[in-house]
Amino acid sequence: MSIECIALHDPNSGATARILAGFGFNCFEFRVPHRGSEVDLLWSAEGFDGGGERPSGSGIPLLFPFPGRIAGTTLKWEGREYPLAGDDGRGNAIHGFVLDRPWRVIEAAENYVVGQFQASVDDPQLLACWPADFQITVRYELQGTTLTSLLRIDNPDDKPLPCGLGTHPYFKVPLGGTSPHGVDVQLPVSRHWELVEMNPSGKCTVVADASELQAGRPFASMQYDDVFAGLKFDDDGLCRARVRDAESGLTLQLEFDRSFRECVVYVPPHREAICIEPYTCVPNAAALQARGIDSGLRILAPGESFEAQVVMRVLAGD
């Protein structure tokens, strides 16, 4: 059975994007014309659009109602326990419920698409796994060589909704060039969460080489699966990370707003990509909050919502 796939096109720039509505609303392809050819900015496993590949390993997985890991396979919340699937290979739940399920397309045009997932509507069995019903709506819009995602979280329930949101883009390395050795990465971070068995311990420390990370570090020297904090926001309220390929002259600039307060950086074992992942909270946020640690966990009252924005902007040096 084929998976619903939505194609976007900007007629002015010739840029294109494809989103798998039937598999987590994952934007797994974003191509821009450059020097007479097309450059794909996103890394995806071959055959990902067939639905047989790992949902968190390609494109832009959307992570909700929790990003990252929850220690173990149970969420403990206000005296109750909610069963979660353990799927990180270490016995932990990871990355929420929406990244591998079909979403509904509620609006579409040549250069944008809007998808939505609500637990009670699209998979009612999830209501036993989380303290409240939840709804996530995402709009992808392509303008020029910029791909914007607008994300809205709603609590449609009559109970409070604890939640966190993250996106998990796999940016290709190299970025139109022929070698990863010409690529450097700018990370506007200054603090680092200590991890124990891949879960935050609750200790957050200053990054010793923050100035180097902010200025740009060669990708070849990077080996990360880390949770950073202390994000640097510009005067316009945006945090900007960059992947730059000196050979191709292309820069991929990731911009996200103050809805996000953590950033996970991950280099997969194949080293053909780097993930720069804005999160609204620390992984395992509910457990940390129960210990009195500021984790960024959001608790939406019935009818409450919040919005966030993530932008991928392609800049050419020539």
pLDDT at 39: 96
pLDDT at 1: 53
For tokens 């796999």, name the residue. Answer: 170
CA 10 to chain centre: 23
* Closest alpha carbon to 192 in 265, 122, 256: 265
pLDDT at 317: 75
Residue 65 and residue 49: Cα distance in Å, rounded? 24
Is residue 63 within 8 A of residue 167, CB to CB? The reply is yes
CA 78 to chain centre: 28
Show the domains of the chain with their CATH numbers: 5-316 (2.70.98.10)
Residue 18 and residue 257: Cα distance in Å, rounded? 24
DSSP 287-307: HHHHTT-----EEEPTT-EEE
pLDDT at 116: 98
Output the tens digit of pLDDT for each of the chain's 318 residues: 579 999 999 999 999 999 999 999 999 999 999 998 999 999 999 999 998 899 999 999 999 999 999 999 999 999 999 999 878 989 999 999 999 999 999 999 999 999 999 999 999 999 999 999 999 999 999 999 999 999 999 999 999 999 999 999 999 999 999 999 999 999 999 999 999 999 999 999 999 999 999 999 999 999 999 999 999 999 999 999 999 999 999 999 999 999 999 999 999 999 999 999 999 999 999 999 999 999 999 999 999 999 999 999 999 875
pLDDT at 85: 86
